[in-house]
Amino acid sequence: MLTFNLRARLLLARAISRSDPRRHSRGFTLVELAAVLAIVGILVGIAAPAMTATMKSVQLSSASNDLFGSLLLARSEAIKRSGHVVVCTSVDGLACTRTGGWEQGWIVFLDSNNDGMHGSGEAVIQRVQTLALELRVNGNLNVGRYVSYSPTGATRLVGGGFQSGTFTLCQQSAGPGEARQIIISSSGRPRVHKSQVATCH
């Protein structure tokens, strides 16, 4: 009987020790926590520049898609309406501006009198607001301030001459960087091209 009680007590003690959560729980030491934090800090330091570059590239692509889409819209509306449709730089979404870059925003409108400027009674088809502060959009040659589509879908200057040129979109920087170019041919068709710039102002 004594032997049986002793065995029962031993079995009970083993069961209690196995079920005791204190035997299995083990916290982090200060050294382990410091090591984990150091590793996390290193990983964040490595990943942050890559994430920043990716975000800037996405921002650049989004802006170039917006301008590209506006040019396509203007071309299709000119053909559909059998009239002149203009894309011009605009700060307030109402009037065309003659200073600053395309990053300040632009409008697409029906240019009834074919003067390249938005006038009273001319329908605004689309308004695009100011882009992110660090983005720059510059148009060279004949597309510095406006692009005008004729009823045939070709680009024409207000004076009637062919209008072609290139928009360059980039992140403001004193050094080299990624860029997007939107090239408009004399037929009025735009196309997007990835490129690099030495500086972006």
The stretches in the chain having pLDDT less than 50 are 1-2, 4, 23
0.85 surpassed by pTM: no
Q: Enter the DSSP assignment of 200.
A: B
In a domain, 79, yes or no: yes
In a domain, 142, yes or no: yes
Residue 133 pLDDT = 85
Residue 4 pLDDT = 47
Rounded to whole angstroms, the Cα distance separating 165 from 142 reads 6
Tell me the CATH number at 167. 3.55.40.10
> Which domain range does residue 118 map to?
57-197
Integer-rounded Cα radius of gyration of the chain: 32
- DSSP output for 25-58: -----HHHHHHHHHHHHHHHHHHHHHHHHHHHHH
Residue 39 pLDDT = 84
Specify the number of domains making up the chain: 1
Residue 10 pLDDT = 56
In 3D space, the residue among 190, 138, 195 whose CA is nearest the CA of residue 164 turns out to be: 190
Q: Give percent of the chain above pLDDT 70.
A: 84
In a domain, 8, yes or no: no
Q: What residues form DSSP beta bridges with 184?
A: 165, 190
In a domain, 39, yes or no: no
Rounded to whole angstroms, the Cα distance separating 187 from 155 reads 6
Residue 2 pLDDT = 42
In a domain, 121, yes or no: yes
In a domain, 42, yes or no: no
In a domain, 120, yes or no: yes
Residue 48 pLDDT = 61
- DSSP output for 126-192: EEE----TTEEEEE-GGGSSEEEE-TTS-BB-TTS-B--EEEEEEE-BSS-EEEEEEEE-TTS-EEE
Rounded to whole angstroms, the Cα distance separating 15 from 114 reads 94
